[in-house]
């Protein structure tokens, strides 16, 4: 029999009704407090002759930015300057998250290695970089990249087309051609095909208990579709290769020592925490899973990939989300080494306009949005990885 439908009682005796009233009152009090503080702040600013408002974001900025992904000129607006600062923050944060995840996972697994040397080296890495403040590490890396590396006319040449010096890292990039649209379209179709194959393999595993190969077919679909799109687009193969002259290195793409400093510092520092999260997550898997894997004849790598890591993800993901958020917020320390991130652009705009409240509010809104988006994506992934009870 179905349970009787719930009826809402709109009376003070109803706990649910009282809870709604209390929440509405709390929100009204919070809104009143924020409104009072905002009104008081604006009134004091007018009394001291301090201008307010966000109209200055459409005015010319009057300053240049040394390293940008978006084209920027001193005649562009403050709004575009903030967009450049945000793109630089995203540039270092996204690459940093990927690098820290990869390095931290390898170090965390290495801490559980049966090889004594590997285990001790990974443990020393964690204890060293986790115990040194990030700001100090940034200063150390900046000193290494700007003082110990050779000048540009004596740049190191570790790989073909790659040059490393005090001026940064120069490397080759593909020359854009209309045929590359075919490559991008092929990669998009390959991604859809790889996703469809992964879903089919998962459904077959749940139905029969047999796991079809997943990684290699998915990579084959992605790479094969990309190659077909590249061939259909006319096989563009031009590369912008850096070339060393008598005094400098020209052409190609480049990243500055400031960007490399922030990236290295964030990756190495955050990876030391991620390594401990991965180690704890693997050790949280019951020991009986290891015994069952050994009874089935699985190799150590197979046991780790097929048995331990999938179960450890349920423990790893929540603290891993916190480390991703910390990395994004720690990127604000880039201002200490001169990297033009969001904080640096905000400081420059604040000094030129005097609009401290507006500049800081926009910066806070940007970091809040990045943090909420990161939490949303990780929570969606956590929802897929968690144990689903009946």
Gap between the Cα atoms of 214 and 208, Å rounded: 15
| In a domain? residue 282 | yes
Residue 13 domain flag: no
Statement: residue 8 has pLDDT above 60: no
Higher pLDDT, 37 or 26: 26
pLDDT 10s digits, 102-144: 999 999 999 988 889 999 999 999 999 999 999 999 999 999 9
Cα distances from 360 to residues 66, 308, 350, 356, in angstroms, run 22, 45, 8, 6
Within a domain: 216: no
Higher pLDDT among residues 229 and 275, named by residue = 275
pLDDT-based confidence at residue 275 (cuts at 50, 70, 90) = very high
Question: pLDDT tens, 163-179?
Answer: 888 888 888 888 777 77
Half-sphere exposure of 299 (CA within 13 A, CB side): 2
What is the domain extent for residue 334?
78-148+254-385
Q: What is the mean pLDDT of residues 156-167?
A: 84
Rounded CA gap, 387 and 314, in Å? 8
Confidence of residue 231 (pLDDT cuts 50, 70, 90): confident
Note the pLDDT of residue 5.
Answer: 55
Q: What is the largest CA-CA distance in the chain?
A: 88
Task: Check if the beta carbon of residue 257 is closer than 8 Å to that of residue 334.
Answer: no
State residue 367's pLDDT score: 94
Among 287, 278, 281, 276, CA closest to 311: 281
CB 273 within 8 A of CB 323: yes
* Average pLDDT estimate for 59-83: 87
The tens digit of pLDDT for each residue in 189-219 reads 989 988 888 888 888 877 776 777 777 888 8
* pLDDT at residue 9 in the model: 62
Round to whole Å and give the CA distance between 384 and 362: 33
| Structural domains in the chain (count) | 1
Indicate whether 230 belongs to any domain.
Answer: no
pLDDT value at position 387? 64
pLDDT, residue 219, reads 86
In this predicted structure, what is the pLDDT of residue 51?
Answer: 67
Q: How do residues 281-328 score in pLDDT, each as one tens digit?
A: 988 888 888 878 888 887 887 888 778 888 888 889 999 999 999 999
Does any domain span residue 235?
no
Q: At 378, which CATH number?
A: 1.10.3720.10
368 in any annotated domain: yes
Between residues 80 and 43, which one has the greater pLDDT?
80
d(CA 13, CA 9): 8
* Whole-prediction pTM: 0.82
Instruction: Judge whether 273 lies within some domain.
Output: yes
| pLDDT greater than 70 at residue 188 | yes
Q: Is residue 111 part of a domain?
A: yes
For residue 289, the model assigns a pLDDT of 83
Q: Quick one: pLDDT band at residue 100, thresholds 50, 70, 90?
A: very high
pLDDT at 270: 96
- Average pLDDT for the chain: 86
Write the DSSP symbol of residue 69: S
Work out the pLDDT band at 149, boundaries 50, 70, 90: confident
What are the start-end ranges of the E strands in 160-248? 162-165, 168-171, 173-174, 239-240, 243-244
């Amino acid at each position: 029999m179905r349970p009787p439908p719930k009826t809402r009682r709109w009376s003070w005796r109803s706990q649910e009704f009282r809870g709604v009233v209390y929440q509405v009152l709390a929100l009204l009090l919070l809104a009143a407090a924020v409104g009072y503080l905002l009104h008081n702040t604006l009134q004091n600013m007018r009394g001291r002759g301090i201008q307010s408002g966000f109209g200055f974001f459409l005015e010319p900025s009057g300053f240049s930015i040394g390293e940008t992904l978006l084209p920027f000129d001193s005649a562009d607006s403050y709004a575009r300057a903030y967009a450049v600062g945000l793109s630089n923050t995203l540039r270092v944060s996204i690459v940093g998250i990927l690098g820290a995840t990869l390095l931290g996972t390898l170090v965390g697994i290495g801490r559980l290695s049966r090889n004594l040397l590997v285990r001790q080296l990974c443990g020393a890495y964690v204890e060293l970089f986790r115990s040194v403040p990030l700001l100090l590490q940034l200063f150390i890396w900046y000193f290494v990249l700007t003082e110990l590396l050779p000048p540009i006319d004596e740049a190191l040449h570790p790989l073909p087309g790659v040059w490393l010096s005090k001026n940064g890292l120069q490397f080759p990039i593909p020359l854009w051609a209309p045929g590359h649209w075919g490559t991008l379209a092929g990669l998009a179709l390959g991604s859809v095909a790889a996703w469809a194959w992964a879903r089919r393999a998962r459904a077959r595993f749940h139905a029969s208990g047999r796991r079809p190969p997943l990684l290699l077919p998915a990579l084959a679909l992605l790479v094969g579709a990309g190659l077909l799109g590249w061939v259909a687009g006319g096989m563009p193969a031009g590369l912008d290769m850096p070339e060393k002259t008598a005094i400098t290195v020209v052409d190609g793409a480049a990243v500055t020592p400031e960007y490399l400093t922030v990236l290295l510092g964030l990756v190495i520092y955050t990876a030391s925490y991620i390594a401990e999260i991965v180690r704890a997550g693997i050790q949280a898997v019951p020991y009986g899973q290891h015994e069952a894997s050994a009874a089935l004849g699985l190799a150590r790598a197979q046991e780790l990939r097929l048995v331990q890591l999938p179960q450890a993800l349920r423990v790893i993901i929540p603290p891993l989300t916190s480390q991703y958020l910390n990395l994004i917020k720690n990127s604000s320390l880039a201002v200490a080494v001169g990297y033009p991130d969001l904080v640096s652009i905000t400081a420059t705009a604040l000094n030129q306009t005097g609009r401290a409240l507006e500049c800081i509010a926009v910066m806070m809104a940007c970091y809040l949005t990045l943090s909420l988006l990161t939490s949303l994506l990780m929570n969606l992934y956590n929802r897929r990885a968690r144990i689903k009870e009946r």
